A and B are shown apart, each in its own frame.
Chain A
């Protein structure tokens, strides 16, 4: 193949271990490999031990060109050129993508109407039962109008409304610092208000906001079934919003280990009893179950401390170079999830 710089004979030798119909011996293989090898490491020279006779071959091998000053200068120049060309390319690509996302976002806006969102996910073959999003707490708003806690709450409200409209029952919101967990009642009120603006008072889905290790918050005024005028109870859809933070990741696994260790010290548990189902049961009961779909609104895939255990088979979606929470990402994520195949191990 042209791009690898290997000749036909060498490729065959590599693939089949055969040259001219003859099986290669270990020695012949090494001979063939000589021109491809990097120079012998300098520090390895005094390591020569009588135990491995092959080491003597290395010293007799043809000397490889050492990195001369000319070569180094060439490398530096080439690196500068590559870095320059690519940085222009990346910048252009980012601007173009951001532009196209903006256009598409305007063309396929949800108009704060659940019906539009339902229409968008109508053709999707499968919907996730548990969707998870990663939000970022930003100090400056970078012209997005979404800075600080207020921005977070605003983003959470919008995403909750989209999730409810698409008919997904469970949304978990990951935010590294966990600041949202301190404002559960306020967040509940804000999301409820936003749901009302989407669905209207009558059809608004019921809502529970909770965080791991706390009692779930659903205020008394919102029973899941509410009698309507004609006496029948409407079964309104229910949305659960779960707030996660960095603490629910590694720190929780450490907590679990600490608990298990102290139990083992008291002989309440045998270390042999610790297995995947046990840990999985503990973590999905007290933290979160495995989300089906994880939506990142950042420009690249970085998990920023998202609980590791739960990510096993989660489909991870991001739009390259995207900035900030918008409906396009959400819609595309559901579209991709609909097409994804799940073949565990197969």
Chain B
């Protein structure tokens, strides 16, 4: 916010009620105009530059974070008024615990204070129809902050129009690992024995036995037949997959798989791991259910992702790196980004159309 260094008359004018009112109307108007075009459904922000801002303006680091929070409030208002469904913000990285204790504590206090305040205004949040979700590793947060988090989350949980994802303490690798872990846990919990017959009419071991019988009867060369049997037994399919992953040599897995098949009949039945897809992992990510990330904005000119939304943003997301620091970020910086996004969206739609047309011809 440049207002820190603004003096006398211009400052007085800027704060005078009529000017403030006009600017507010102008903002509303611009947001309303933006709404007429396509609007990204899911926007993510990396709020970078609070500390540099504080350094440059000779204020306390903590004060810089406070200003950053104000910028966040402004931008959230713009986003929700413009019709963005999900906003994800990178509030605190697991790596941030490496910072000075004083700063970490102050950030935690800030988060707690704002969440408590927010919980006091549940009804106001209903106006925006926004619900809050905290994405991250809860084990790393102190219990009093957890309490504030849970309160804020539960108070807004019934809102469906918009979502604010606060990534707090979060890293993307942690998220992906947790997703993989929970998927593995889900797939390694035995199914109810009652469910299995309805799910699978054929017994795997029976099929394998049949094939073995056929193999014995047929007197073909020993090369092609075992391969056939391998591809039919599901557990060896997994092994084939792991060979693809370069984990073990094919010769040993073939032997292993036949060993395992015998025990398969007595062991509890599990869901087939082959049914795990990218969608399965997607559902185990912290952003499950949110629309795909359309736009990721990082301020302060640093051009890397810093372990944020890796899984979500590597497909079709527009990633924008801005030079301005986060506390300076406002509608006036956001507007060109949004307009450019709309422009690119329109252009890519046109391209797709012309491609489809040329293919049809």
Give chain A's interface residues, CB within 8 Å of chain B: 1-8, 11, 14-15, 17, 26, 29-30, 33, 36-41, 44, 47, 52, 54-55, 57-58, 67, 71, 74-76, 78-79, 82-83, 86-87, 90, 213, 249-262, 264-266, 271-272, 274-276, 279-280, 282, 286, 300-309, 311-317, 336, 340, 344-346
Within 8 A of A (CB), among B1-21: 1-3, 6, 10, 13-17, 19-21
Give chain B's interface residues, CB within 8 Å of chain A: 1-3, 6, 10, 13-17, 19-27, 29-30, 32-37, 66, 70, 73-74, 77, 80-81, 93-99, 117, 120-124, 126-129, 158, 161, 172-174, 176-177, 180-181, 183-185, 187-188, 235, 238-239, 241-242, 244-247, 260, 270, 273-274, 276-278, 280-281, 302-307, 310-311, 313-321, 330-332, 336, 339-340, 342-344
What residues of A have a CB within 8 angstroms of the CB of B14 in the complex? 1-2
User: Do residues B310 and A308 form an inter-chain contact, with CB atoms below 8 A?
Assistant: yes
Partner of A254 from B22, B173, B278 at Cβ < 8 Å: B278
A15-B70, A262-B238, A276-B177 known; A306 vs B20 contact (CB < 8 Å): no
User: Do residues A303 and B339 form an inter-chain contact, with CB atoms below 8 A?
Assistant: no
What residues of B have a CB within 8 angstroms of the CB of A82 in the complex? 30, 33-34, 339
Residue of B nearest to A317 (CB): B303
What residues of A have a CB within 8 angstroms of the CB of B241 in the complex? 255, 258-259
A30 and B117 alpha carbons, distance in the complex (Å): 11
What residues of A have a CB within 8 angstroms of the CB of B122 in the complex? 52, 54
What residues of A have a CB within 8 angstroms of the CB of B180 in the complex? 253, 256-257, 260, 274, 279
A260-B180, A261-B184 known; A38 vs B20 contact (CB < 8 Å): no
* Residue picked from A55, A282, A311, most chain B C-beta under 10 Å: A311
A249 and B177 alpha carbons, distance in the complex (Å): 14
User: Do residues A307 and B305 form an inter-chain contact, with CB atoms below 8 A?
Assistant: no
A40 and B314 alpha carbons, distance in the complex (Å): 37
* Residue picked from B1, B27, B33, most chain A C-beta under 10 Å: B33
Q: Could you list 17 examples of A-B contacts with CB < 8 Å? A: A2-B13, A3-B332, A4-B23, A29-B120, A38-B80, A41-B126, A55-B123, A78-B29, A253-B281, A257-B280, A264-B185, A266-B260, A274-B177, A301-B321, A305-B315, A308-B314, A312-B310
With both chains docked as a complex, state the minimum distance between the C-beta of B138 and any C-beta of chain A, in angstroms.
17
What residues of A have a CB within 8 angstroms of the CB of B235 in the complex? 262
A309 and B311 alpha carbons, distance in the complex (Å): 7
Residue of A nearest to B25 (CB): A5
A39 and B245 alpha carbons, distance in the complex (Å): 55
User: Do residues B98 and A346 form an inter-chain contact, with CB atoms below 8 A?
Assistant: yes
Partner of A75 from B17, B33, B245, B330 at Cβ < 8 Å: B33
A3 and B321 alpha carbons, distance in the complex (Å): 22
A317 and B318 alpha carbons, distance in the complex (Å): 14
Partner of A275 from B177, B281, B318 at Cβ < 8 Å: B177
Extra 8 A-B pairs, beta carbons < 8 Å, given A36-B24, A257-B276, A274-B184? A3-B331, A5-B22, A33-B124, A37-B124, A83-B343, A262-B239, A312-B307, A316-B305
Residue of A nearest to B336 (CB): A86
Residue of B nearest to A246 (CB): B315
A26 and B280 alpha carbons, distance in the complex (Å): 43
User: Do residues B15 and A313 form an inter-chain contact, with CB atoms below 8 A?
Assistant: no
Residue of A nearest to B22 (CB): A5
User: Do residues B336 and A5 form an inter-chain contact, with CB atoms below 8 A?
Assistant: no
Residue of A nearest to B239 (CB): A262
User: Do residues A309 and B310 form an inter-chain contact, with CB atoms below 8 A?
Assistant: yes
User: Do residues A316 and B126 form an inter-chain contact, with CB atoms below 8 A?
Assistant: no
Partner of A30 from B124, B278, B311, B314 at Cβ < 8 Å: B124
A5 and B304 alpha carbons, distance in the complex (Å): 33
A93 and B156 alpha carbons, distance in the complex (Å): 44
What residues of B have a CB within 8 angstroms of the CB of A37 in the complex? 124, 127
A14 and B1 alpha carbons, distance in the complex (Å): 14
Residue of B nearest to A55 (CB): B123
A276 and B184 alpha carbons, distance in the complex (Å): 15
What residues of B have a CB within 8 angstroms of the CB of A317 in the complex? 303
A37-B124, A41-B129, A274-B184 known; A262 vs B306 contact (CB < 8 Å): no
